[in-house]
Structure 1
Amino acid sequence: MNIAFFLLPKQEVVCLPQDATLRQTLEKMEYHRYTSVPIINNDGGYAGTITEGDLLWYFKNHGDLSLEQTNKVKLMDVPRRLLNKTVQIDANMDDLISLAKLQNFVPVVDDRNRFIGIVRRSEIIDYCQKLIMEKHKVL
């Protein structure tokens, strides 16, 4: 199965530039109600994923940080607990399934390592559910 079938293209993905501020990150995640968002570097490549947990740990470790001061903190200065792995567009479903166990979505890159979109965990689970259902129908 070609993973391009499951791809949510970059144009439809809420992303953050690597030079975004902590305030911009908070506002975008709140507005879209996302728990994690991909970060894109200046060359259009995938630079990582920021999660609510990363933000919470940052605030915990910087207890004196006010909401006003979040305009001065760069997103790339916020440590990330996990380094989400990417797949290339020609990856197989086994690669996606193994990554989706740990990630809300799997970032997809082209052969030049440019970010081209994501495959959501929910899409992968739906695919697996259909396979299981089809297998049970055969039995």
Structure 2
Amino acid sequence: MNIAFFLLPKQEVAYLSHDATLRQALERMEYHRYTAVPIINAEGGYVGTVTEGDLLWFMKSRPDLTFEGTNKVRLSEVPLRLNNKTVNIDANMDDMIALAKVQNFVPVVDDRNHFIGIVRRSEIIDYCMKGLSERI
């Protein structure tokens, strides 16, 4: 099976640019009801994944920061606790499954290391469940 079969393409992924504001991150995550969102740099490369926890811990460490002030803080200032690893679109399924075991989604990059989408862990589980039910 090819990783592309599971790929949710970039244009369908809620992601943030590295120069987005803290407020934009909060609003995007709230709108999509996500707890984690990929971050992309100006060149299209995957930078990391920001989580609700990252945002909350950052705001907690800044008692002077008001909600109105979140539009002045760049996402690049927020420390990221998790290091979600990427998989290349040409990688084998074992590599992707190994990452999906510990990440809710796996960012996928092309040969130039540009972000091209994600594979959701739930899609892999659904595929495996379908295969198991067909065997029974």
TM-score between both structures, scaled by the size of structure 2: 0.94
**Within 5 Å, which residues of 2 pair with 1:27-66?**
27-66=27-66
Q: What secondary structure, in the 3-state scheme, does the structure 2 residue paired with 1:53 have?
A: helix
**Aligned AA (2:11):** Q
**Aligned AA (2:84):** N
**Aligned AA (1:113):** N
Q: What secondary structure, in the 3-state scheme, does the structure 1 residue paired with 2:103 have?
A: coil
**Aligned AA (2:24):** Q
Report deviation, 1:72. 1.2
Equivalent residue number for residue 74 of structure 2: 74
**Aligned AA (2:57):** W
Report deviation, 1:66. 0.4
**Aligned AA (1:23):** R
**Within 5 Å, which residues of 2 pair with 1:6-45?**
6-45=6-45
Provide structure 2 residue ranges, at least 5 long, that are not aligned to the other structure: none
Equivalent residue number for residue 113 of structure 2: 113
Q: What secondary structure, in the 3-state scheme, does the structure 2 residue paired with 1:131 have?
A: helix
Q: What secondary structure, in the 3-state scheme, does the structure 2 residue paired with 1:122 have?
A: helix
Alpha-carbon distance in 1 for matches of 2:121, 2:63? 33
- In 2, are the aligned partners of 1:36 and 1:52 still within 8 Å (CA)? yes
Report deviation, 1:128. 2.1
**1:47-84 residue CA offsets vs partner (Å, 9 max, x unmatched):** 11111111111122112210011111110110111111
Are 2:4 and 1:4 equivalent residues in the alignment? Answer: yes
Q: What secondary structure, in the 3-state scheme, does the structure 2 residue paired with 1:62 have?
A: coil
**Aligned AA (2:53):** G
Alpha-carbon distance in 2 for matches of 1:39, 1:111? 18
Provide structure 1 residue ranges, at least 5 long, that are not aligned to the other structure: none
Are 2:58 and 1:89 equivalent residues in the alignment? Answer: no
- In 2, are the aligned partners of 1:96 and 1:124 still within 8 Å (CA)? no
Q: Which moved more, 1:67-76 or 1:96-105?
A: 96-105
**1:96-126 residue CA offsets vs partner (Å, 9 max, x unmatched):** 2211122111000000000000001100111
Alpha-carbon distance in 1 for matches of 2:81, 2:11? 26
Identity of aligned residues (%): 74
Alpha-carbon distance in 1 for matches of 2:76, 2:99? 23
**Aligned AA (1:65):** L
